[in-house]
């Protein structure tokens, strides 16, 4: 059996009050998993812990077979540049640049190439010459996803990536993300309020009453 891409053991964290404790989760190559739960329960905080941005109060995160928070800053920066893809609900694109230039920023940093097939699957190929301000919110979100996937990350952390999208576009985005995991062996960890999007993943966890439980 292949080694997990991500393995979290006994994770606990607090902001003034305890958010969650004794969280355990693993994510294998080719696997997708979703975390659901009510607003404010700590889903996004948990994602930040798994994705290099927040050291937990307690517990251990192993990413690509290495203790994540025992690594030096330079090693963590390299992970963010080459191996980790992070998709936010709010896309954080460069407004003064074209769609193509926004995607090129990521490919230049990661030394990869933009694939026409990806742009076609996201239905944005004809939009690449447009300035970001000329695009709708849904189009901008698909540009941001193209920017992340063009890096060819080994694991994708997605925080409400379909939260501001209509149903048809949300389904398209999920199709692309899940296809990417199947084609490349990457893992996908998704935080969402949308139970229908979560149900498309291989497994679903629920964060409730400070405990993360695998849904059966």
Rounded to an integer, what distance in angstroms lies between the CA atom of residue 203 and that of residue 216? 8
Note whether residue 74 is domain-resident. Answer: yes
**Model confidence over 183-205: pLDDT tens digits?**
999 999 999 988 999 999 999 99
Helix (H, G, I), strand (E, B) or coil at 124: coil
**What residue ranges in 43-172 does DSSP mark as E strands?**
58-63, 66-67, 84-87, 155-159
The pair of structure tokens assigned to 56 is 């937990």
Which domain does 161 fall in, by range? 6-92+152-214
Q: How many domains does the chain have?
A: 1
Note whether residue 17 is domain-resident. Answer: yes
Note whether residue 117 is domain-resident. Answer: no
pLDDT above 70 covers what percent of the chain?
99
Note whether residue 122 is domain-resident. Answer: no
Please report the pLDDT score of residue 163 as a whole number. Answer: 83
Strands 203-208 and 32-36: parallel
Rounded to an integer, what distance in angstroms lies between the CA atom of residue 103 and that of residue 116? 12
Note whether residue 127 is domain-resident. Answer: no
Note whether residue 140 is domain-resident. Answer: no
Note whether residue 19 is domain-resident. Answer: yes
Please report the pLDDT score of residue 46 as a whole number. Answer: 96
pTM score:
0.94
Q: Is the pLDDT of residue 95 over 90?
A: no
For 143-162, what is the mean pLDDT? 95
Using 50, 70 and 90 to split pLDDT, how confident is the model at 58?
A: very high
Rounded to an integer, what distance in angstroms lies between the CA atom of residue 31 and that of residue 24? 16
CATH of residue 61's domain is 3.40.50.300
**Model confidence over 65-81: pLDDT tens digits?**
999 999 999 999 999 99
Using 50, 70 and 90 to split pLDDT, how confident is the model at 1?
A: low
**Model confidence over 111-133: pLDDT tens digits?**
888 999 999 999 999 999 999 99
């Amino acid at each position: 059996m292949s080694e997990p891409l991500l393995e979290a053991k006994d994770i606990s964290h607090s902001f003034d009050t305890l958010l969650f404790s004794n969280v355990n989760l693993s994510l294998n190559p080719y696997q997708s998993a979703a975390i659901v739960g009510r607003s404010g329960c700590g889903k996004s905080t948990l994602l930040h812990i798994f994705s290099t941005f927040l050291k937990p109060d307690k517990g251990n995160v192993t990413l690509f077979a290495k203790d994540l928070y025992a690594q030096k800053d330079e090693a963590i920066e390299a992970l963010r540049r080459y191996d980790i893809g992070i998709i936010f609900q709010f896309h954080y694109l460069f407004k003064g640049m074209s769609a193509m230039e926004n995607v090129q920023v990521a490919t230049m940093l990661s030394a990869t190439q933009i694939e026409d097939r990806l742009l076609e699957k996201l239905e944005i190929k004809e939009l690449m010459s447009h300035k970001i301000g000329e695009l709708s919110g849904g189009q901008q979100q698909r540009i941001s996803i193209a920017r992340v996937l063009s890096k060819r990350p080994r694991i994708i952390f997605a925080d409400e990536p379909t939260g501001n999208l209509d149903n048809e576009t949300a389904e398209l985005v999920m199709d692309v993300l899940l296809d990417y995991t199947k084609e490349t062996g990457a893992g996908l960890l998704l935080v969402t309020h949308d139970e229908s999007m979560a149900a498309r993943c291989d497994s679903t966890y629920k964060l409730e009453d400070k405990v993360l439980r695998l849904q059966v």
